Amino acid sequence: MFRSTISQVVRSRPTSTPYIRSFVTSQPKLFLENLFGTKELKKREEIVKQQDDFEIDPNANIVILNEENSKGFQPFDPEVDLAGFKVEQWKSKVVKTQDIESTYTNQDLINIINSTYKQTKSVDQDINEADFKSVDLYDLSFRFQFFKQLQSNLGFDINDYVISKTHDLNQVYEELSKVISQRWVWERNPNGIVLRNDDFKAGNVYLSQELNEKDQAKVFESIVEEINSNKDAEKAV
């Protein structure tokens, strides 16, 4: 009696089994069936399974359209495609970067800044260098007009950073004086350097002139003779 009662209690106890979520592909499959249809989907599945069994036609070619085989291709013709196109040079002159140092002096820069300000401001009174600090450029519209005209008169571009940080004519002069006095160097080009006349004042500096050993010996002997003669002259004195 007691055993039967225990067995009934055990049987009547609810068993709690954990719920395991299974990966179901019914939704994607239903979506593909609605999109392609059941028959079309089966064909695609068969093709995927048997894709390694298909033979490739060796005569089949893929034609890529380009300029040569396109029927609508027309070669570029400047007279037709760019009819009436013209590049307007807004600078009054063009000075290359490597020529800036040899083109302008500080006095030239002062004169050009003065004339440019008069031209942009439409005034006749000259501005001395000492008065540059008192001429401000707080009006941005005028500043842009001034710098555009200044670049046109100088013939080279001015860095945007210089345009942004200069607030009077004295700052403009100080920044541009650095530009016109800086020796131009192009690091990517071994010959990209501007040589000054002072670089050739020394007697032992030559430009593209290489002497052979015999001529070098003659030059060396002449230098030695000159030194000895100078020593003899000093002893005589």
Q: If you average pLDDT over residues 148-157, what whole number do you get?
A: 96
Domain ranges of the chain: 97-181
- Each residue of 22-68: pLDDT tens digit? 555 445 555 555 555 566 767 777 777 777 776 667 777 777 778 77
pLDDT cut 90: percent of the chain above it: 38
pLDDT value at residue 237: 67
Fold classified for 97-181: 1.10.1200
Helical residues (DSSP H) of the chain, grouped into ranges: 2-12, 26-36, 38-49, 78-81, 100-103, 106-121, 140-154, 160-165, 169-181, 213-236
Query: Pick from 149, 155, 141, 51: which is nearest to 94 by CA?
Result: 155
Residues 6 or more apart in contact with residue 120 via CB below 8 angstroms: 142, 145, 146, 149
Distance CA 174, CA 176 (A): 6
pTM summary value: 0.51
Q: If you average pLDDT over residues 74-82, what whole number do you get?
A: 87
